[in-house]
């Protein structure tokens, strides 16, 4: 079991932010990072490679029931939902899209919230729909930390704004630099 689980959700306009975050996190980061990003349904490959160019940590697309370990970035595969299980593993599913999305950020957030409770740090970035907002509420309910990208900074602020509407008292509203600073401050 890891001591924290960093779960990041993003859609339109989040790619550069993700690259910046991954570029500024050390290779031996003490926690696993799980990415749920809206992506093209029919394109299997390429995304891991695109993220790996800037990332110091190893980026992988997990298979079903993979173990979650520290110092790794897990990217939700195209056209699958990505759940986190109490057994510290990944569960993939082909269930119907949620918020028109598969992978859906709500599913990853909510399953992480239940499985790892106050160990979860949920971060929502730029995007054009409300996916992730309900999941962040679950993270808050189970005692985790909620971080919303500052809508003023987000290139498409719909998703951060939806999160701020849904979650009454998010722990932090941060810009990219502050997110990076926060992630490094809990690297122990």
Footprint of other proteins on this chain (CB under 8 A)? 42, 44, 61-66, 77, 79-80, 83-87, 91-96, 107, 110-111, 114-115
Smallest gap from Cβ 42 to other proteins, in A, equals: 6
Smallest gap from Cβ 85 to other proteins, in A, equals: 5
Kindly name the residue from 31, 38, 55, 126 that is annotated as catalytic: 38
Residue 172, phi then psi, degrees to nearest 5? -145, 145
DSSP per residue over 59-119, as a string? EE-PPTTPBP-SSEEEEPPTT-EEEE-TTSBEEEE-PPPBTTBSS-HHHHHHHHHHHHGGG
Smallest gap from Cβ 111 to other proteins, in A, equals: 5
Is 64 in the active site?
no
Output b/e per residue, 89-112; b: 16+ Cβ within 10 A: ebbbeeeeebbebbbbbbbbbbbb
Kindly name the residue from 31, 106, 111, 131 that is annotated as catalytic: 131
Is 11 in the active site?
yes
Smallest gap from Cβ 83 to other proteins, in A, equals: 4
125 burial type by CB count under 10 A (0-12 exposed, 13-18 middle, 19+ buried): buried
- Whichever of 21 and 110 has its CB closer to other proteins, that residue is 110
Is 38 in the active site?
yes
- Whichever of 99 and 126 has its CB closer to other proteins, that residue is 99
> Which residues carry out catalysis?
11, 38, 131
């Amino acid at each position: 079991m890891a001591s924290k689980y960093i779960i990041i959700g993003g859609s339109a306009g989040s790619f550069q932010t993700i690259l910046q975050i991954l570029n500024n996190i050390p290779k031996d980061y003490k926690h696993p990072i799980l990415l749920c990003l809206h992506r093209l349904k029919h394109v299997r490959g390429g995304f891991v490679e695109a993220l790996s160019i800037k990332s110091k940590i190893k980026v992988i697309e997990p298979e079903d029931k993979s173990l979650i370990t520290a110092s790794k970035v897990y990217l939700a595969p195209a056209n699958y939902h990505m759940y986190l299980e109490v057994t510290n593993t990944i569960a993939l599913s082909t269930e119907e899209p949620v918020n028109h999305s598969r992978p859906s950020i709500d599913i990853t957030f909510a399953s992480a919230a239940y499985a790892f409770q106050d160990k979860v740090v949920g971060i929502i970035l730029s995007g054009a729909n409300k996916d992730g907002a309900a999941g962040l509420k679950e993270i808050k309910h189970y005692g985790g930390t909620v971080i919303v990208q500052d809508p003023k900074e987000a290139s498409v602020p719909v998703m951060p704004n939806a999160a701020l509407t849904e979650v009454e008292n998010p722990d932090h509203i941060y810009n990219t630099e502050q997110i990076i600073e926060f992630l490094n401050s809990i690297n122990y």
